Amino acid sequence: MISGIAADSQGCRKTRAVEGIRAAIIMPVFNGAEHISRSLRLALDTSPPDCQIIAIDNGSTDNSYAILHRILHRSSMQDPDRLHTISNEQNLGFPAACNQGIRLALKRGAKYVVLLNQDAFPQPGWIDALVNAAELDPTYGAVQALVLLESDTAQPLINTAGNPMHYLGFSWCGSYGEIAPPAGTSIVHEISVGSGAALLLTRKALEDIGLLDESFFLYHEDADLCWRMRLAGYKIGIATSARVTHEYSPSAAAAKFCYAERNRWALLLKTASIQRLVLTAPMLLATAAAALMVANKGHITREYLRSMWSIIKGRRSILASRRHIQANRRVRERDLLPWLTSEIETQGLLPSTAQAFANKVMRGYWNIAYRLI
């Protein structure tokens, strides 16, 4: 169900043309009753009039949709075109919900779409800073805001200042827990991949390479999209003056572990060159064995094996995506290697000694493989 708009048979939204839509904020919601009133209010208050907001309730089982409906009613009394809501009967997954909003935004003429988590709280000027960064350098396909931890510390701490990409497909919050640069610091620079917690995507890049991969369902879909943009020749950046706080803490939940493992394999199988896959195969097998041991220790072996089996079952779709991505890539694998790292940062989820040993092995192996690619 879609409020304020009608749906066509393909799931895209038919709307009257709206002039002057510069950007649209896309907020997927799932059981977000605790946060969405504040998050949506700040999204409305901190964005300019030429920015629309699309909230997608993804089959919530709490009262999220009722809250969205109340906010929609209040907003429509002031500006009927400012906020739109979509309601799904079931949870379609984070990337599918994002894509619903993105398709609607593109139909309505948005030049930029900005993904915003339901528990992320934007600060004044964030949208303008993201859009300005993208307009100053049109080669950017995505620009991330500086995402800060929601905390009571005297100095703001970083949730992510851009996510690293490991040569084995891992990705995580970069600069996590570090002190943020002073407010007002305005720097735009490249990062490996961006975090979907607060991420601007350009219309040009999306129409060129496609939307988020809905088969990921949860986790790693932002890294996959950004890496596909890199393959197509786009840059990924961060605008430090665009600031968003995020209710976040590191988690080793079973579902997150299984989705993240499955999706890193899907990302690699779609985007890495055959040469890189072959050269790193021993390390890939080693990490698979290590992941199985972690799953066994956490008593989630069945869930982990089921997630790995889904890769095998979905091999035809993955290979079809790979053929399309590789046929349209514009950047050689060798030129992408500087954006890959050889060390991981587990944010305390692994003992420091285990992390140090793993990094020593992976770094040594990459030093050899790097020269051969």
Q: What HEC string does the chain produce?
A: CEECCEECCCCCEECCCCCCCCEEEEEEECCCCCCHHHHHHHHHHHCCCCEEEEEEEECCCCCHHHHHHHHHHHHHHHCCCCEEEEEECCCCCHHHHHHHHHHHHHHCCCCEEEEECCCEEECCCHHHHHHHHHHHCCCEEEEEEEEEECCCCCCCEEEECCECEECCCCECCCCCCCECCCCCCCCEEECCECCCCEEEEEHHHHHHHCCCCHHHCCCCHHHHHHHHHHHCCCEEEEEEEEEEEECCCCCCCHHHHHHHHHHHHHHHHHHCCHHHHHHCHHHHHHHHHHHHHHHHHCCCHHHHHHHHHHHHHCHHHHHHHHHHHHHCCCCCHHHHHHHEECCCCCCCCCCHHHHHHHHHHHHHHHHHHHHHC
**Across-strand partners of 6?**
14
Q: How confident is the model at residue 5 (pLDDT cuts 50, 70, 90)?
A: very low
Do 73 and 213 lie in one domain? The reply is yes
* pLDDT for 76: 83
Domain end (from 219, 246, 273): 246
Residue 166 has pLDDT above 80, yes or no: yes
Residue 100 has pLDDT above 90, yes or no: yes
Do 193 and 272 lie in one domain? The reply is no
Do 143 and 237 lie in one domain? The reply is yes
Q: How confident is the model at residue 154 (pLDDT cuts 50, 70, 90)?
A: confident
Residue 272 has pLDDT above 90, yes or no: yes
Q: How confident is the model at residue 19 (pLDDT cuts 50, 70, 90)?
A: low
Contact call for residues 347 and 176 (beta carbons, < 8 A): yes
* pLDDT for 47: 96
* pLDDT for 249: 79
Place of tokens 């988590």: 117
Residue 335 has pLDDT above 80, yes or no: yes
Which residue range(s) make up the domain with 108?
A: 2-246
Do 155 and 267 lie in one domain? The reply is no
Q: How confident is the model at residue 81 (pLDDT cuts 50, 70, 90)?
A: confident
Contact call for residues 175 and 195 (beta carbons, < 8 A): no
Averaged over 333-357, what is the pLDDT?
91
Distance CA 351, CA 124 (A): 39
* Mean pLDDT of the chain, nearest integer: 92
Q: How confident is the model at residue 16 (pLDDT cuts 50, 70, 90)?
A: very low
Tokens of 82: 């400012």
Do 94 and 118 lie in one domain? The reply is yes
Do 64 and 179 lie in one domain? The reply is yes
Do 93 and 194 lie in one domain? The reply is yes
Contact call for residues 70 and 76 (beta carbons, < 8 A): no
Contact call for residues 22 and 110 (beta carbons, < 8 A): yes
Question: Measured between alpha carbons, how far is residue 345 from residues 106, 153, 165, 192, 361 in Å?
Answer: 36, 22, 11, 15, 14
Backbone angles phi, psi at 48, to 5 degrees: -70, 165
* pLDDT for 20: 60
* pLDDT for 351: 84
* pLDDT for 13: 38
Contact call for residues 202 and 194 (beta carbons, < 8 A): no
Q: How confident is the model at residue 253 (pLDDT cuts 50, 70, 90)?
A: confident
Domain end (from 214, 246, 278): 246
* pLDDT for 78: 81
Report the 10 Å Cβ neighbour count for 371. 8
Question: Measured between alpha carbons, how far is residue 312 from residues 265, 291, 319, 352 in Å?
Answer: 11, 17, 11, 33
Residue 2 has pLDDT above 80, yes or no: no
Do 76 and 98 lie in one domain? The reply is yes
Do 242 and 341 lie in one domain? The reply is no
Tokens of 45: 């208050």
Is residue 304 packed enough to be buried (19+ CB in 10 Å), middle (13-18) or exposed (0-12)?
buried
Do 217 and 260 lie in one domain? The reply is no
Backbone angles phi, psi at 163, to 5 degrees: -100, 130
Do 201 and 114 lie in one domain? The reply is yes
* pLDDT for 235: 98
Instruction: Give percent of the chain above pLDDT 70.
Output: 94
Domain end (from 225, 246, 267): 246
Q: How confident is the model at residue 18 (pLDDT cuts 50, 70, 90)?
A: very low
Lowest mean pLDDT among 1-5, 19-23, 251-255, 315-319: 1-5
Do 140 and 14 lie in one domain? The reply is yes
Q: Give the closest residue to 176 by CA, choosing from 193, 194, 158, 153.
A: 158
Counting the structural domains of the chain, the total is: 2
What is the DSSP pairing of strand 165-166 with strand 340-341?
A: parallel
